[in-house]
DNA sequence: CGTATATATATCAGAATGATATATATAATC
DNA sequence: GATTATATATATCATTCTGATATATATACG
């Protein structure tokens, strides 16, 4: 997905600064996508130059000015057009469309070159890590401000439910079949 | 995972050319990782310069020479050292470690901006696509030469089984919960 | 006979990341 | 009370990787 469409999409949930957009990628979204500062800041500048967003500068005593961006009518239209135009190309992305970029799976592929002890530790830690991830996805308590907008989206409930189901399946499979790696 | 370690790992399954290494990424591995020609060829040249692989040039009448690389003892050692040294850092990668880079999930996140009709079509096609993926992972018939080496790895059976289980979970979830997106 | 696909390597523009620079406030640790 | 780490906030840039293109030919398809 184009970085412009993504930034506009996030700004459609409410006005935000570049720093805050980065923060939005630190919740459940972080498992599916993220953008770096090096992408976010230039993108926002370009979107502003083309009037897809407007910007209000809040001067702060000693920190750099906080630049809060608001999506414009023109911006909303561009975002919707882009989403509609590219929708079909996203069908094959994700899990298991397209690619997972899983270095863990690569490690499994070459596990025969590692001591069994090492692999055992790795698999144990993987299970612990996935259990922790599962709790994160199921967690329904309060979250910091900029994550709230994401969390309240109906689609995010759907995605979190899917993620939880997938992790549970993965955990069960690992526990039942890890013996087959030896 | 470093491109060097990955190329060495694939060459540990048998001598291959750059073109053939690219082909190895076109089977089940394609869902987890891949490298482009722009990465593979320079990497092989560097590995050769540092004696981690040797190279035999097979001249072909009118095509470019086929350069077949063989991993050296030094190369095997580097690969194993790298795998062992980085093993723990791969625990948090993949699904759902780290990141899936799912543009499909981003599309779901912004689905409220798309006509219901469009989303319905997208979800239908997604289901069809995943069913097709599932068949691919379950397929046990013959595969072209360079994929055979990958397919015969014990770890690949494990991974394919896991992938199948995950896709089945995803399909079931989608079918039961897609109504919640409206 | 033209078109598409496969073999085979190489290079490079463009894009994205991860790190770093800059500057300060606040919280935690010792 | 001093030091260290973390959080806020933007900007830039070297390095890295991809996706496309260039080059050249063989084979299959209709």
Residue A2 forms contact with B (CB below 8 Å): no
Q: Give the mean model confidence (pLDDT) for residues A149-156.
A: 90
Q: What parts of chain B have a pLDDT lower than 50?
A: none
Q: Which of A58, A75, A78 is nearest to A66 (CA)?
A: A58
Q: Is the pLDDT of residue A135 over 90?
A: yes
Q: Which nucleotides of D are covered by protein (CB under 7 A)?
A: 8-14, 17-21, 23-26
Q: Per the structure block, which two tokens stand in for B99? A: 């990141």
Average pLDDT for residues A161-174, to the nearest whole number? Answer: 94
Q: How far is B60 from chain A (nearest CA, A)?
A: 33
User: What mean pLDDT comes out for the span A122-140?
Assistant: 92
Which nucleotide has its C1' atom closest to residue B42's CA?
A: C10
User: In chain B, where are the structural domains located?
Assistant: 3-90, 103-181
Say whether pLDDT at A15 is over 70. Answer: yes
Residues in chain A: 182
Does residue A159 carry a pLDDT above 70? yes
Contact criterion met (CB < 8 Å) for B107 and A79? no
pLDDT score for A21: 97
Residue A97: per-residue pLDDT: 56
Dist. CA B128–CA A99, nearest whole Å: 17
Are the CB atoms for B128 and B168 separated by under 8 Å?
no
Helix H segments across B28-153? Answer: 37-49, 73-86, 103-109, 116-138, 145-151
Distance CA A167, CA A128 (A): 12
Q: What is the 3-state secondary structure (H, E, C) of A84-111?
A: HHHHHHHCCCCCCCCCCCCHHHHHHHCH
Asked if residue B64 keeps its beta carbon closer than 7 A to nucleic acid strand D, the reply is: yes
Taking CB atoms and an 8 Å limit, are B158 and A94 in contact across chains? no
What is the model's pLDDT at position A94?
55
> Would you give the distance in Å from CA A151 to the centre of its chain?
12
Q: What pLDDT is attached to residue A117?
A: 95
- Measured CA to CA, the distance from residue A83 to residue A99 in angstroms comes to 20
Q: What is the mean pLDDT of residues A50-71?
A: 87
Cis? peptide before B96, omega within 30° of 0? yes
Which candidate, A44, A60, A34, places its Cα nearest to that of A11? A44
Q: Which residues of B78-91 are buried (b: 16+ CB within 10 A; e: fewer)?
A: bbbebbeeebeebb
Query: Cα–Cα distances in Å, from B147 out to A64, A123, B56, B98?
Result: 54, 26, 21, 27
Structure tokens at A177: 């079949």
* CA-based nearest residue in chain A for residue B77: A113
Question: Which nucleotide lies at the shortest CA–C1' distance from A60?
Answer: D9
* Residues pairing with B58 in the sheet: B66
| pLDDT tens, position by position, A93-121 | 655 555 678 899 999 999 999 999 999 99
- B66 beta carbon < 7 A from strand C? yes
pLDDT in tens, A41-55: 999 999 999 999 999
State whether B93 and A103 contact (CB < 8 Å): yes
DSSP B17: -
Using alpha carbons, list the distances in angstroms from residue A114 to A109, A119, B72, B76: 11, 7, 18, 12
3-state secondary structure of B152: coil
A23 Cβ nearer than 7 Å to chain D strand: yes
pLDDT at B56: 94
Question: How many whole angstroms separate alpha carbon A30 and alpha carbon B14?
Answer: 37
* H-helix segments, chain A: 3-11, 18-24, 37-49, 73-86, 103-109, 116-138, 145-151, 154-177
The model's confidence at residue A130, banded by pLDDT at 50, 70 and 90, is very high
Question: At A61, is the pLDDT very low, low, confident or very high (cuts 50, 70, 90)?
Answer: low
A residues 48-67 lying closer than 8 A (beta carbon) to B: none
Measured CA to CA, the distance from residue A127 to residue A110 in angstroms comes to: 19
- The fraction of chain A above a pLDDT of 90, given in percent, is 73
Averaged pLDDT score across all residues of chain A: 91
What is the three-class DSSP state of B50?
coil
Q: Are the C-beta atoms of B102 and B24 separated by less than 8 Å?
A: no
User: B93 and A102 in contact by Cβ < 8 A?
Assistant: yes
Output Rg (C-alpha) for chain A, integer angstroms.
20
Residues of chain A contacting residue B108, judged by C-beta atoms under 8 Å apart: 155, 158-159
Architecture of domain B3-90: Orthogonal Bundle (1.10)
pLDDT at B98: 58
């Amino acid at each position: 997905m184009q970085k412009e469409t993504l930034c506009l999409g996030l700004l459609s949930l409410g006005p935000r600064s570049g720093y805050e957009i980065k923060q939005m990628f630190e919740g459940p979204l972080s498992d599916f996508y993220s953008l770096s500062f090096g992408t976010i800041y230039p993108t926002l500048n370009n979107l502003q130059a083309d009037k897809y967003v407007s910007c209000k500068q809040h001067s702060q005593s000693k920190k750099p000015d906080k630049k809060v961006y608001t999506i414009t009518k023109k911006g909303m239209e561009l975002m919707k057009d882009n989403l509609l135009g590219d929708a079909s190309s996203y069908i094959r992305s994700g899990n298991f469309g397209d690619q997972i970029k899983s270095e863990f799976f690569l490690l499994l592929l070459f596990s025969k070159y590692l001591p069994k002890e090492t692999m055992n530790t790795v698999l144990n830690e993987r299970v612990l890590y996935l259990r922790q991830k599962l709790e994160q996805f199921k967690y329904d308590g309060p979250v910091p401000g900029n994550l709230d907008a994401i969390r309240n989206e109906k689609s995010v409930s759907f995605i979190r439910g899917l993620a939880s189901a997938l992790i549970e399946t993965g955990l069960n499979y690992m526990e039942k079949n890890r013996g087959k790696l030896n």
